[in-house]
Amino acid sequence: MMDLLILAAGLAIPFGDPVSTDIEPAEPGRYEAAFEFVESDAGYRLNALLMDVATETHQSSKLADCATIDIEAFSEGLFGTPVRCNDAVYEFDLQGSSIVVENSATGRTQVIRTLAAGPVVINGVRLLIE
């Protein structure tokens, strides 16, 4: 009886439509994030720049007015080099599905852009947004 069951399992014919494996994976969204210092009468204005590589569009978000600035040359964050403005360190991060800039002095974050679910590459780092 057991031999008959094993033989029947080996002869089983799958039913249904064959599964296609020719589906191309979605091209990940590509973004480049950077900080920009713009001279002003009071010193500098710190902006967050975000470029969508696919559409070649960019957006600029004002973060702070700075009397003193410094690039954290010996520090490296996940998405690039942090910058210092008036003794506060600003750094790009990802919270949930949003690209944000964190301010170390206040602990607050500023949302730069909220991303759609799927694969993305931010400054060369591959991520999956859920």
* In the chain, domain spans: 29-129
pLDDT band at 37 (very low <50, low <70, confident <90, very high): very high
* Residue 34 confidence class, pLDDT cut points 50, 70, 90: very high
3-class DSSP assignment, residue 7: helix
115 burial level (CB within 10 Å; 0-12, 13-18, 19+): middle
Confidence of residue 5 (pLDDT cuts 50, 70, 90): very low
Residue 50 — pLDDT band, cuts 50, 70, 90? Answer: very high
